[in-house]
Amino acid sequence: MKTYPTVMMKPQDTVAVALTNIPAGTRLTVACQDRLFNVELLEPIEFGHKFAVVPMEAGTDIMKYGEVIGAAVRAIRAGEHVHVHNLEGKRGRGDQLGGQSQQ
Amino acid sequence: MADNLSSNGQLAGGKRTFWGYRRPDGSVGVRNHVLILPTIVCATQTAQRVTELVQGTVTFIHQHGCAQVGVDYEQTFRTYAGMASNPNVYGVIVLGLGCETHQARSVASEVKKTGKPVEVISIQDHGGTLYTIAEAAKAAARMVQDASRERRVECDFAELIVGTECGGSDACSGLSANPAVGFCSDLIVDHGGTSILAETTELIGAEHLLARRAVNDQVAKRVYEVIGAMEKRAFAMNVDIRTGNPSPGNIKGGLSSLEEKSLGAANKSGSRPLQELIDYAQKPTAKGLVWMDTPGHDIEQLTGMVAGGSQIVLFTTGRGTPTGSPIAPVIKIATNTSIFEKMDDNIDLNAGTIIDGTETIESVGNRIFEEIIEVCSGKLTKAEILKQHDFGIWRIGPTF
């Protein structure tokens, strides 16, 4: 069976990174320190892109490097591609101030 | 060569050295340029002509130097004076128009404090473009000949201020090249040198990690202040910062938010304590790890660090970039093997081997450190060979 390299930075992370292009339907075992996840990719993941290793509810923080990289804009299933379509940044959000910040 | 120096530039006791140019103020350059410094946009074309005539001279194009006030005036002034004062510059011809806010004469008197040769020529005083070109080219020719008599001498690694930067980041930046630069940054600090971390925008979301490493509460407080000020500028635009940063290329490479990019970028800082936080284009006063407050814009950041005295810059890239400075060598480091092979003209080292699993972060970090010594002793970088003379000032006020 073909193996595909991935990396998960910290055990508390909820995403891992594909280190090569990986087709949909691939079953992966992702490990980081004492944590181990069996994930089936629900869609193809390109080199450098992220996939969820656990299911996440809308609004929850998404973790990489053991830190918050944004929030889920909708529910995300394990094995789903995690990117700008379902992850929003929480910082520098001038769009959420309703124009009140302009002096 | 000194008796106690082995062939790989190592002094007894583990001290590392390189071959540099000792300047009158005691600082050490790794290049020996004559800079034609236009202090006003109106003089940039004339400066360009002079560099076409005289071998050994460099200049840069910009659009500033007039109708600027307050802190914005000061920052641009500091950038001009800093570029000219950088020890990689042997001497300077300051080229002005005559009527501008950034007077060539004021910039020149600041640069003269370094003790290096400085001449001032203004287009209005010299009766137009052609007389100015002739006058400036004659002065430059004399200066270049004097510069050519300088000899490289053996210098302690601790004399170096190394700028670090990432541009055209991808998801590998935080996994390969940035941690390798971080490992190298620790080596720089351990050898008594200075390592500059910058691009404040791209540390938004990672500030708590750096504040924890601050040497005192005052530095930690400044970390939150500069991050807060940068984020407020995004708020003032009433848009999601993601419309501009991460860039479309970053997003294509797999980065989804500014925080994710920042957490990868912060890896460049290694693990040593944060000694101080300095303004844009300001010279560090401390050795060790220093944070310069700059935007994430590659060229504006690069310019700020070089104007702050960096003799050499490390630049990691995942999407690939040609970036270089007119006066400082920029060592470019690929985050993945595919871009290293694809943009071989532009990229000096490959950290993609970490992703490929054929090399460790430590091994690449050591390779970068050795490359710094080689380049500082004269080896040309790819950006220098291709005459990639990028320059851009971080403007912090409107033009009037």
Size of interface A-B (CB pairs under 8 A): 108
B194-197, strands of its sheet edge to edge: B274-278, B288-292, B194-197, B161-166, B312-317, B330-334, B349-350
Rounded to the nearest angstrom, the minimum Cα separation between A50 and chain B is 7
DSSP structural state of residue B221: H
Nearest residue in chain A measured CA to CA from B207:
A67
DSSP structural state of residue B379: P
pTM above 0.90, yes or no: yes
Does B242 contact A94 at a Cβ distance shorter than 8 Å? Answer: no
From chain B, the residues in CB contact with A70 under 8 A are 256-257, 259-260
Cβ-based neighbour number of residue A33 at 10 Å: 9
Q: Is A102 on the interface with B (CB under 8 A)?
A: yes
pLDDT class for B7, splitting at 50, 70, 90?
A: very low
Query: Comparing A55-64, B226-235, B307-316, which segment has the lowest mean pLDDT?
Result: B226-235
| Phi, psi (rounded to 5 degrees) for B224 | -70, -30
Residue B234: its pLDDT value, please? 86
Instruction: Reply yes or no on whether the pLDDT at B275 is more than 90.
Output: yes
**CB contact set of B43 (below 8 Å; sequence gap of 6+):** B95, B96, B97, B104, B123
**CB contact set of B125 (below 8 Å; sequence gap of 6+):** B98
Nearest residue in chain A measured CA to CA from B169:
A48
**Nearest-by-Cβ selection for A48 from B171, B236, B258:** B171
pLDDT in tens, A11-27: 999 999 999 999 999 99
Q: What are the beta bridge partners of residue B89?
A: B33
**CB contact set of B337 (below 8 Å; sequence gap of 6+):** B350, B352, B353, B355, B356
pLDDT in tens, B26-39: 999 999 999 999 99
Element (H, E) at B375: helix B361-376
Residue B349: its pLDDT value, please? 98
Q: Which of residues 57-86 of A touch B (CB under 8 A)?
A: 64-65, 67-70, 82-84
ipTM, 2 decimals? 0.94
Residue B35: its pLDDT value, please? 98
Nearest residue in chain A measured CA to CA from B353:
A19
Does B256 contact A5 at a Cβ distance shorter than 8 Å? Answer: no
